[in-house]
A and B are shown apart, each in its own frame.
With several copies, the nearest count.
Chain A
Amino acid sequence: MKEMKKVEIVIDSLHIHRVVEILESNGVSGYTIIKDAQGKGERGIMAGDELTDVFKNSYIFTVCNVEKAIKIAEAIKPLLKKVGGICIISDVLWVSH
């Protein structure tokens, strides 16, 4: 089992493709997306009940090594600053296959 980092991001659904671009440009081996998430934060409630995706969040996480995790964190900060959302990093053991 390899020691890796899990990077989790929550952002409004309209901007999820931006996050994917950042992950891919940092050469992660993969990622998992859960498209429909609700939530609340600085920008208020995202109830996901609109006809538009403006008030809907998406959740995405990737498992990668610490170097990539840091690079991703740096790359994603300005995006979060501009459009909102959160990014957290934690330790995981990857059951390599």
Chain B
Amino acid sequence: MDTLLQNILNPPILMFFMGLIASLLKTDLEFPQPLPKLFSLYLLISIGLQGGYKLSHSGLDINAVKVLSLAVFMATLVPLYTFFILRRKMDIYNAVAIAATYGSISAVTFVTAVSFLETIKEGFGGYMVAAMTLMESPAIVVGLILLRIFRDRNNDNGINWGEVLKEAFLNPSVFILLGTLIIGFVVGEKGWESVKPLFGDLFRGFLALFLLDMGIVAGRRFWDIKNMGFFLIAFAILIPLTNAFISIGLAKLFGFSKGDALLYSVLCASASYIAVPAAMRLSVPEANPSIYVTMSLAITFPFNIIVGIPLYYHIINILWG
């Protein structure tokens, strides 16, 4: 309860609420493009550089390898099992798209969890950013393989696999994270110090700005929720919870640190609303974007940053004792 308050009563989260209210009240408040793009690029670069820098200190030990493997494991498992749940209720196209959405991750949710950990002075491994990067793409590939397998042969309006794999592994988010991770890793102390005033010190402020915009955008989709039917709404909350619990279990089993466990669970619980939708729109145009984007953006994202993060941390606290 206290951690919940502590999580809510900090500028970024409150800015998200402010944005939400702004669009529910239909004020004209908005960040016109490309400002949101600037904020998200900034956050990706900043988290990548910091992650790489931390990694250059901690290094890639056996523990890191363990975490990374489990990251990929969950990123492959989630789209698989969710697909079969979804398939019972809807056509294959939307099932694939939603499964891929929840199999992948949300960098901003991760970032919010990171700043939550910093607030409560709980450490975490530099390899977690690498873990996030590894978790972005698998779901897309799994989804398209499922599509290929289960789609009725007679209307195979062939996927352009080259384009799709590029979208999966070379989409801007993945590329920036990878690139800045490496840069952060090699430039060392001096290099990091030189850009820290922008990419370190301003981090919280930019997160606040970005969440303000996220609130506005989520608010715009708010009314689409009720047209979505009970099943999808329940899905958008229960699946993240399930993924969080599974991942916390795994984290305990494999002896993660508290901080790593939280970030791992948050990654598994989060859903993509940038990389995956773009990939799905290109490869599964038959699916309806306003379904999978609304679910991840207007339900799962707010749920995770407001309730999820402190909740998962609370559970971890109890289990880790």
Q: Do chains A and B touch in the complex (CB under 8 A)?
A: yes
Residues of A within 8 A of B (CB): 12, 14-15, 36, 43-44, 47-55, 82-84
**Is the Cβ of B217 less than 8 Å from the Cβ of A54?**
no
Given A12-B281, A52-B278, A54-B278, verify A44-B157 contact (CB < 8 Å): no
Closest A-B pairs by Cβ, 7 of them? A83-B285, A54-B281, A54-B277, A54-B289, A52-B277, A52-B278, A51-B274
Distance in Å: Cβ of B171 to nearest Cβ of chain A = 10
Distance in Å: Cβ of A70 to nearest Cβ of chain B = 23
Of all chain A residues, the one with the shortest Cβ separation from B278 is A52
**Interface magnitude class on chain B:** 20 to 34
Given A14-B281, A83-B285, verify A51-B273 contact (CB < 8 Å): yes
**Is the Cβ of B278 less than 8 Å from the Cβ of A14?**
yes
For A47, give its contact among B37, B220, B277, B286 (CB under 8 Å). B220
Instruction: Please give, as numbers and ranges, the residues of chain A lying within 8 Å of B40 by CB-CB distance.
Output: 51
For B157, give its contact among A36, A48, A50, A82 (CB under 8 Å). A82
**Is the Cβ of A50 less than 8 Å from the Cβ of B293?**
yes
Distance in Å: Cβ of B33 to nearest Cβ of chain A = 7
Distance in Å: Cβ of B30 to nearest Cβ of chain A = 7
**Is the Cβ of A50 less than 8 Å from the Cβ of B282?**
no
The reply on B11 being an interface residue by CB < 8 A is no
Tell me which residues from 270 to 302 in chain B have a Cβ below 8 Å from any Cβ of chain A.
273-274, 277-278, 281-282, 285-286, 288-290, 293
